[in-house]
Chains A and B, each alone.
Chain A
Amino acid sequence: MSLDSKSTAPAHPTPEHGRTSALGSLLKLRELPVVLALVVLVAVTAAINPLFLSEQGIKDLLLNATILMILAVGQTLVIITRNIDLSVGSILGLVAFSTGSLFVAAPNLPIVAVFVLGMLFGAVLGGLNGLLITIAKVPALVITLGTLYIFRGINNAWAGGTQYFAGDRPEAFGNLSVDTALGFPVITLIAVVVVAIVAVYMLGTRPGRDLYAIGSDPDAARLFGIPVTRRVLLAFVVNGLLAGLAGVLYASRFNSVGATTGSGLELDVVAAAVVGGVAIFGGSGTVVGAAIGALLLTTITSALTALRVDKFWQQAIVGILILAAVVIDRIASVRSARKLRIAEARNV
């Protein structure tokens, strides 16, 4: 695979190729800024307002990040393949509303079954996106913009003015977002497990590496014999599945689910991934970075409120972060491309 192109994509070094250390340091570089930003933010906020890191404060921080984290992980898979899924907010809304309806229709349904059904429903919607994109060969931006409205329209037609409230759902289900295990809220642990599984998959498995290859250069990946269509479809299905999971968790955590649940969320998700070092044109970035990006974005909101900063500044600060992330990403990719070229030269 040629590395001399000026594209921002730093190609995909295969782990078994002795370049793991280069990749490792690259990973560190990509995630380091966002981790640092998070640490500084939390430290400064806690110094000014100690309540920020009280038991309740930490719990709130983690809970706030949970849903966005899961969505960001799914979105990262899709972005890495040089695609995007703008319909995740609508998928979340549909699944959240169907979770509410499910509990009303069958109050005794085991909670696990609701999770499974919600995730399956999400996977079907995600698969629909994937099929449209891989078969019609239309850019994901356009397809998922379309399904954003289609899914939301279905949600509107289905829900109408109906809303389901926390009181309509079993207490045990709502308590998932209240109870803690080992000091962590239960739903946050679910998110951490999701991040871990997907991270291992992306780092250590063939299909995971394939996703990077596809994002770096789809044509080369196809020539190389990678089943591009299948892999991209998989990325969309998993993203839908995770959006479904997020939808069920949304219903657990928040009070009402209805026709507008989750609208506008897609941009937060993409922002989290970008801030977490995922390159918007695919080929690089990690799910761990995206998860931390999600944590950073939600923590900023909480920190600024805890510091009594006018909330109108929040959006501007998020914007600055996105720009900073892009700049860092650019610097990182230029540096890594140079490094890889040198390594390549030595190998030959």
Chain B
Amino acid sequence: MRFIHSGTRRRAAFAALATSAALVLSACGGGAASEGGGSEGGSGSDGEQTITFIPKQLNNPYTDVVLGGGEDGASEAGFAESEVVGPLDASASSQVSFINAETQRGTNVIVIAANDPDAVGPALEEARAAGSKIVAFDSDTNPDYRDLFVSQVNAKDVALVQLELISEQIGGEGEIAILSATANATNQNEWIKFMEEELASNPDYANIELVAKVYGDDDDTKSFQEAQGLLQAYPDLKGIISPTTVGIAATARYLSTSEYKGKVALTGLGLPNEMRPFVKDGTVSEFALWDPAQLGYVAAFAGKALADGDITGEPGDTFEAGELGEREVGEGGIVLVGPPTQFNAENIDDYDF
């Protein structure tokens, strides 16, 4: 029996991203990853290397996109074989048996999105002792247990890109509001904090006033009503930022069915598939999100560079990530994938997630 909670999973994915973002910010722990494993693991020439992805959980739409990018990256980077294995439930210990199986098979690179930073530790240490290279992505393990962490984005970038978009869309002045997820969502609150700081300090935004922060609890209906309320309570509102995929879609749906369509700007973080009709009908001109596929893609190339012995995971190491160009290992063995992608009428059809 499989009961898959998509809502929970989506939240879990966000939570994971929040965690990763938080880790990026506080990237001072870990230091150099252990070199104990040595590089004698990869046994042979390029053609024989294998890579295995272990996501937090299978069948998650977001994860599917990440893994799709990972498989592409793996074949471009030159792995002979790439595989995806993983649990159906995202519980702390569910990944351990999969890691053990990979160790026994002698897989060269294990790419993992940890459900729990410590629970997977002993299994990963065993894998490293047997010669595997460990790349964490999406959600980090404890830095002691992996060679590299490939992180999606940096929290500040996420905040700033949304401000840039709204400022552009309202012509640099006017009242704006934020429609967030829950009032205590860690990642959203962090982004909002960065936005507020930037609004206060950046002279470019001197004429923009943040008049309200409301919370739609990542619930379609509630977000919808909160959007209505915002427009009634603030007749001069020029724009709304919704840094959550549920909120931006619900707000877009409301705007597109109301007299405010085209008059009130909306931007934030959204899924292209969900936002496509609203971009096409002119309700939303541009929004942002990281491209999940790039995460898997870069992780595959990072794994390859590690397995070939080109890098060891030391800060300052660089490697080529296929068509995305060069990436550098930062403090704490963290590799940033890149700035959030912006979606508009021109490019939205190129994305399917």
List residues of chain A with CB under 8 Å of any chain B CB. Answer: 49, 51-52, 55-57, 59-60, 64, 153, 156-157, 159-163, 165-167, 174, 177-178, 254-256, 258-261, 263, 298, 301-302, 304-308, 311-312
Known contacts being A160-B4, A311-B214, is A255 close to B249, with CB within 8 Å?
yes
Q: Which of B35-43, B152-160, B253-261, B315-323 contacts A (4 or more CB under 8 A)?
A: B253-261
CA distance A117 to B5 in the complex (A): 26
| A306, B232: Cβ atoms closer than 8 Å | yes
Closest to A160 in B: B4
| B3, A52: Cβ atoms closer than 8 Å | no
| B249, A60: Cβ atoms closer than 8 Å | no
Known contacts being A162-B61, A163-B6, A260-B5, is A255 close to B232, with CB within 8 Å?
no
| B214, A307: Cβ atoms closer than 8 Å | no
Q: Which of A160, A167, A254, A302 contacts B232 (CB 8 A)?
A: A302
Known contacts being A49-B232, A157-B2, A311-B215, is A305 close to B252, with CB within 8 Å?
no
Rounded to whole Å, the gap between the CB of A48 and the closest CB of chain B is 10
| B225, A301: Cβ atoms closer than 8 Å | yes
Contact with A along B211-237 (1 / 0, CB 8 A): 010110000110011101110110100
| A302, B9: Cβ atoms closer than 8 Å | no
Chain B residues with CB under 8 A of A52 = 232
Known contacts being A51-B235, A162-B61, is A255 close to B228, with CB within 8 Å?
no
Chain A residues with CB under 8 A of B309 = none
Task: Pick 9 A–B contacts, CB within 8 A, sort by A.
Answer: A51-B235, A60-B258, A153-B3, A160-B4, A162-B61, A174-B257, A178-B257, A254-B224, A311-B215
Q: Which of A156, A174, A302 contacts B225 (CB 8 A)?
A: A302
B29 close to A (CB within 8 Å): no
| A156, B274: Cβ atoms closer than 8 Å | no
CA distance A298 to B60 in the complex (A): 33
Q: Which residues 1-44 of B have a CB within 8 angstroms of A?
A: 1-7, 9-10
* Interface size class of chain B, counting residues whose CB lies under 8 Å from the partner chain: 35 or more
Rounded to whole Å, the gap between the CB of A176 and the closest CB of chain B is 11
Chain B residues with CB under 8 A of A302 = 225, 228-229, 232
| A305, B230: Cβ atoms closer than 8 Å | yes
CA distance A298 to B221 in the complex (A): 11
| B5, A256: Cβ atoms closer than 8 Å | no
| B228, A254: Cβ atoms closer than 8 Å | no
Q: Which of B3, B214, B233, B260 contacts A156 (CB 8 A)?
A: B3
Q: Which of B233, B235, B274 contacts A305 (CB 8 A)?
A: B233
Other contacts beyond A56-B258, A56-B260, A153-B3: 10, CB < 8 A: A64-B225, A157-B2, A157-B4, A161-B9, A163-B61, A165-B274, A254-B220, A256-B220, A258-B6, A306-B233
Closest to A301 in B: B225
CA distance A89 to B130 in the complex (A): 52
Closest to A156 in B: B3
| A255, B250: Cβ atoms closer than 8 Å | yes
| B232, A165: Cβ atoms closer than 8 Å | no
CA distance A167 to B297 in the complex (A): 29
B142 close to A (CB within 8 Å): no
CA distance A153 to B4 in the complex (A): 8
Chain B residues with CB under 8 A of A160 = 4, 6, 59
CA distance A256 to B274 in the complex (A): 8
Closest to A163 in B: B6
CA distance A45 to B259 in the complex (A): 21
| B233, A307: Cβ atoms closer than 8 Å | yes
CA distance A260 to B246 in the complex (A): 12
Chain B residues with CB under 8 A of A59 = 258
| A259, B226: Cβ atoms closer than 8 Å | no
| B276, A156: Cβ atoms closer than 8 Å | no
| A156, B229: Cβ atoms closer than 8 Å | no
Rounded to whole Å, the gap between the CB of B242 and the closest CB of chain A is 12
| A51, B232: Cβ atoms closer than 8 Å | yes
CA distance A326 to B175 in the complex (A): 43
Q: Which of A55, A161, A255, A301 contacts B61 (CB 8 A)?
A: A161
B68 close to A (CB within 8 Å): no
| A305, B214: Cβ atoms closer than 8 Å | yes
CA distance A260 to B3 in the complex (A): 12
Q: Which residues 179-225 of B have a CB within 8 angstroms of A?
A: 183, 212, 214-215, 220-221, 224-225
| B59, A161: Cβ atoms closer than 8 Å | yes
Chain A residues with CB under 8 A of B78 = none
B273 close to A (CB within 8 Å): yes
B277 close to A (CB within 8 Å): yes
Closest to B10 in A: A161
CA distance A166 to B275 in the complex (A): 10
CA distance A177 to B232 in the complex (A): 19
